[in-house]
Amino acid sequence: MRLRLVPKETSFDFFSRWKMWLGLSALLMVVGFASFAIQGLNFGIDFRGGTTIRTESTQPVDVGTYRGAIEPLGLGDVSITEVFDPTFDEDEYVTMIRIQAQEGAESVTAEMVENVHAALKSVEPDIKFVSVESVGPKVSGELVQTAVLAVALAIGAVLVYIWLRFEWQFALGAVAALVHDVILTIGVFSELQIKFDLAIIAALLTIVGYSLNDTVVVFDRVRENLRKYKKKDLKEVLNLSINETLSRTVMTSVTTLLALISLYVLGGDVIRGFVFAMIWGVIVGTYSSVFVASTILLWLGVKRDWTKPSNTSGNQFANIDA
């Protein structure tokens, strides 16, 4: 007996309450914008500037012990990451300690570095500071601009790709879903004040790719069914296409979430923000593929006079049972 996450054949009407779904999305986007405008993002060291210290010791690293030793110094946001490299000796243990820029200074002062060194020596006597590097506010500002540009270019490339592969109505629907996903992700980070660093930018770009993949699968089936059922109303074709790909969509999302939840629980603080962004992105990406991208396509309409059949229409994984 095979386990199914959804029945083999479904006939849900995904557009019976399309105004409610679009209204919910619009409300969440407004809340995200308002939170961003009022309290902004809790930028990490990558975007605020600070000091990075590379340490070496001959004893295994205990990140919790290191953090406990530094915490009484009151340095604000401190990130401690153990570095792994196959070229290291057996008794060579390396960490990267990143300390946010202190108020009124571009970087941590030499005196404060000495205090950190002394604090860590109290728990690890043979620890050495191999290098100390500072990132000022100017460099951090450039990182913010580069990150925004990277996300904007990714969405722009998606617009062109979908436009060339399908029609402009499909392209606008897909991009609307991607913008929706990015805004809601940034909004939840602003609302919860979770640390926002370069890893979250990587998560945003991954979310864009995941959401696009889901949307293209649905749109491919829509295009195929538009040719197959030329007399059916567009709403019926969209409902049929989403139902036909629903099994694949649910299975992909659930299996991805299982892996991400495991990482969130067991992965530790270093990757928790990144994994949280991915979990949220998978949820809103799946939602937007069905209730945002397809609804925008229904609202815009699409031509029905294709005369040449597509050899690449449909998707070989669309009917996989979940």
Q: How far apart are CA 232 and CA 306, in angstroms?
A: 14
Residues of the chain within CATH 3.30.70.3220 domain(s) are 50-135
Per residue in 202-261, pLDDT tens? 888 888 888 888 888 888 888 888 888 878 888 888 889 998 888 888 888 899 999 999
Return mean pLDDT, the chain.
81
On whether the CB atoms of residues 14 and 239 are closer than 8 A, the answer is: yes
Residue 45 CA from chain centroid, whole number: 19
Q: How far apart are CA 260 and CA 147, in angstroms?
A: 24
Residue 262 has pLDDT above 80, yes or no: yes
Per residue in 57-116, pLDDT tens? 888 888 888 888 888 888 877 888 888 777 788 888 888 888 877 666 656 677 888 888
On whether the CB atoms of residues 242 and 14 are closer than 8 A, the answer is: yes
Which of 2.40.50.100, 1.10.10.10, 1.20.1640.10, 2.102.10.10 is the CATH number of 18-42+139-300?
1.20.1640.10
Write down the pLDDT at residue 319.
47
The sign one gets for the Cα dihedral 205, 210, 213, 217 is negative
Question: Which pair of tokens denotes residue 82?
Answer: 């153990």
Residues of the chain within CATH 1.20.1640.10 domain(s) are 18-42+139-300
Strands 195-196, 42-43: pairing kind: parallel
Q: Residue 80 is inside which H or E element, if any?
A: strand 78-83
Write down the pLDDT at residue 229.
83
Amino acid at 79: S
Residue 321 has pLDDT above 50, yes or no: no
Q: Tell me the CATH number for domain 50-135.
A: 3.30.70.3220
Residue 269 has pLDDT above 80, yes or no: no
Q: What is the pTM of this model?
A: 0.73
